[in-house]
Structure 1
Amino acid sequence: MDILKSAILDFCRRRKTSSFCPSEVVRSMYPEDWRLFMPDIRQAMLELYREGHIVVTQRGIPVSLHEPPQGPVRISKVQKPK
């Protein structure tokens, strides 16, 4: 697993039930050049989403698994039923 996927999953673990923006992940890793990594983090995010490891939402609604979302998104941990 690549470092960006690991970083996303680590954010999920630390945030528990809170969602976060993909930019928060790359900002923590590359504070000065984070914008350069946005395409990469979005790609890693989509791969994890398609594999069922995370949830990606826009305005609180899960995005399509088949088309990359346009605009801001939030990432959250998959909530397992209790």
Structure 2
Amino acid sequence: MEVLRTAILDFCYRRNSSFCPSEVVRKLYPEDWRYFMPDVQEVMMAMYREGLILVTQKDLPVDPNELPKGPVRISRIKTY
């Protein structure tokens, strides 16, 4: 799972916009990315609860205690 955490953070720092969790696993596992969606969602939500990333759905933060249903976006936490 550490590889997924690293990949999510890498996407956050390389991008100026939000991205779909599927983009992470598509980059890492182009042939079998669908099998890794539950893993990336689990890691994404753990990182969100830790305050490392922001997870939104329809531009609103998701509940950190529930796995969201439907498409979500990941972005870096904005610091000023």
Name the TM tier (shorter chain): over 0.9
Deviation >2 Å, runs of 4+ = none
Equivalent residue number for residue 45 of structure 1: 44
Measured on the aligned residues, the alpha-carbon RMSD in Å equals 0.9
Give yes or no for the alignment of 1:76 onto 2:66.
Answer: no
Instruction: State how many pairs are aligned.
Output: 80
Equivalent residue number for residue 27 of structure 1: 26
| Identity value in percent | 61
Gaps of 5+ in 1: none
CA positional deviation for 1:65: 1.1
Q: TM-score, normalised by structure 1?
A: 0.94
Gaps of 5+ in 2: none
Give yes or no for the alignment of 1:64 onto 2:60.
Answer: no
Equivalent residue number for residue 3 of structure 1: 3
